Structure 1
Amino acid sequence: MHEEPLLKVRNLQKQFGDGCSRCKERQNLEKNYCPNCGTVYACQDISFDLFAGEILGIVGESGSGKSTMMQCLYFDAEVTSGAAYIDAGPGSAEQNVFELSSQQKRYIRNHQYGMVYQNPVHGLKMNFSSVGNIAEKLIAAGKRNVSEMEETSKNLLQNVHIPLFRMKEEPRNFSGGMQQRVQIAKALSNNPPILFLDEVTTGLDLSVQANVLDLIKRIQRELGISMIVVSHDLAVIRMLADRTIVMLNGSIIEEGLTDQILEDPQHAYTQQLVYSLL
């Protein structure tokens, strides 16, 4: 039996600007920018599948559209067109999630998805305690029992190696690596089948990066969560991802098993990325 994807993305388009007669056909573009009307085609016809228990890496330089794509999937940004389907029970796999009501999208964010942002300020309330941050996500997912929420929060914080004597502290007092770990705990609190990680190690010291990556790998192994990991750093993708998509100027230019892409890159841009890693 062929395994159905957990998440299917089809022809995702995101543009900033209305486009003009010169760029509507995607002719006369400089990379993915129209010099005539200023429209940016941030994501162009992005299609891929994410399977249960898989880590999918998305790599590309700054401006390649990978973070914009992530924002569209997490409903932080509206898509221009396209479809995404989540297999979350009977009948759900036929619904294009981009066309759902804001209430239904909120439900998916609170129950199906977890998100770890590059900048912890976007994922955490810096003036709430760490426990309060996790409780906020649990309340959004419909939990009401205070002692249960506290117990869940403690378990999660221990799981990401935040000492419990600091659980009532605000994340703004924490180092960057600790803030990312609190963000990961918060993102996992609703047991999401899908976790998005956007440039989670950028700006962290190398030893801290290694700790965060080890943590992500361990969580994925223990909980079997599917993850989409966006990074401009091929070393991060090599460590985490089973399969990899390479993006350039808003388009997918190469995809395949991570080992395959690292050992035998086909596209000139991917070759450049891989050789810069050697």
Structure 2
Amino acid sequence: MHEEPILQVRNLRKQFGTGCKQCSDIDNRNLEKNFCKQCGTVYACQDISFDLYPGEILGIVGESGSGKSTMMQCLYFDADVSSGEAYISEPILAGKNVFELSSQQKRSIRNHVYGMVYQNPVQGLKMNFSSVGNIAEKLIAAGNRNVSEMEATSKRLLESVHIPIHRMKEEPRNFSGGMQQRVQIAKALSNNPPILFLDEVTTGLDLSVQANVLDLIKNIQRDLGISMIVVSHDLAVIRMLADRTIVLLNGEIIEQGLTDQVLEDPQHEYTQQLVYSLL
């Protein structure tokens, strides 16, 4: 593993609501979980900091409402952070807190540096475009204008995620959930992103389909050496994919370490409950 992280996140905070005297003082918050009963403010992400290294899969695990998906939305610029910093080790972005960039610069990062696979394929795909058209859309956003080149790239990517050639011109709305996820993965990979975000990508899929999608993700990671952040409430998914794991509870990191270490010898009471409920 290289020493220089590809992504550094520092003190990411996201709150919904303005806060009040009861909850605004960080050191002396009076919260019910991550919720202020007095004013209704939700502290979805509280001072989340981590590094992602080249070629690493980082797992983020936690129950529903722990802040995992909000964190992903902030990282991918689907939501604005309340405060915090993130740095990407690309020469053009050196030393720049990407949360403070213009919307145009953020769009450029989404088009060239990041790939995203959403839990619900409807968020990541245009269901009435063909599968090839979905990938072409991403390539055009990244500046590609060569039609035959885009078609060749789209076909290659769809083949790599096991979409049959005779269905490539079909619309994803005709596909099963597992196939939709695979098209979404192909689309996310189309701009060769060094960083890929995967948000609960196996939720709602049959077990055999889940296994196929997870195999696909592992193979992609091995072949392309992409850095990935994988969010899941399912420890089996994290165990299969992640090199290191962060455990979130009520918007805070409560434990982190090598995945084997965290799952074999959990230190925090909540992580222990998570692990033992699996056994």
**Which residue of 1 is the match for residue 4 of structure 2?**
4
Q: What is the one-letter code of the residue matched to 1:270? A: T
AA in 2 matched with 1:28: N
Going from structure 1 to structure 2, the CA distance change for 1:33 and 1:168 (only over 3 Å counts) comes to same
Q: What CA deviation, in whole Å up to 9, does each residue of 1:182-220 have, x standing for no partner? A: 000000000000000000000000000000000000000
Q: Show the counterpart of 1:213.
A: 214
Corresponding residue number in structure 2 for 1:83: 85
Letter in 2 for 1:165: H
Q: Displacement, 1:2?
A: 6.6
| AA aligned opposite 2:126 | K
Q: How does 1:250-261 map to 2 (within 5 A)?
A: 250-261=251-262
Alpha-carbon separation, structure 2, partners of 1:262 and 1:102: 39
Q: Secondary structure at the match of 1:10?
A: strand
Q: Is the 8 A contact 2:115 2:193 kept in 1?
A: yes
What residue in structure 2 maps to residue 186 of structure 1?
A: 187
**Aligned match of 1:55:** 57
Query: What is the alpha-carbon distance in structure 2 between the residues aligned to residue 195 and residue 4 of structure 1?
Result: 18
Aligned counterparts of 1:7 and 1:93: Cα–Cα separation in 2:
11
Partner residue, 2:15:
15
Which of 70, 73, 79 lines up with 2:75 in the alignment?
A: 73
**8 Å Cα contact 2:199-2:231 kept in structure 1:** yes
CA 129–2 in structure 1, closer or farther in 2 if over 3 Å, else same: closer
User: 1:89 Cα shift?
Assistant: 1.7
Q: How many residues align?
A: 277
Amino acid of the structure 2 residue aligned with 1:65: G
> What letter matches 2:156 in structure 1?
N
Shift of 1:276: 1.0
Specify every segment of 5 or more residues in structure 2 that has no aligned partner in the other structure, as ranges.
none
Question: What is the percentage of aligned positions where both structures have the same residue?
Answer: 85
TM-superposed deviation, 1:150 = 0.2
Give the distance between the partners of 1:57 and 1:225, measured in 2 at CA: 14
The one-letter code of the counterpart of 1:133 is N
Moved over 2 A (4+): none
Q: What stretches of structure 1 of length at least 5 have no aligned partner?
A: none
Query: What is the aligned-residue RMSD (CA, Å)?
Result: 1.0
In the aligned structure 2, how far is the partner of 1:84 from the partner of 1:18? 23
Give the deviation of 1:151 after TM superposition. Answer: 0.2
Counterparts of 1:40 and 1:93, CA distance in 2: 33
Counterpart amino acid of residue 17 in structure 1: G
Q: Deviations over 1:105-132 (max 9, x none)?
A: 0000000000000000000000000000
Question: How far apart are the structure 1 equivalents of 2:110 and 2:224?
Answer: 19
Which residue is 2:31 aligned to? 29
- Paired position in structure 2 for 1:203: 204
**How many Å apart are 1:227 and its aligned residue?**
0.1
1:94 partner SS: coil
Q: Which residue pairs with 1:130 in the alignment? A: 131
1:82, distance to aligned residue in structure 2 (A): 0.2
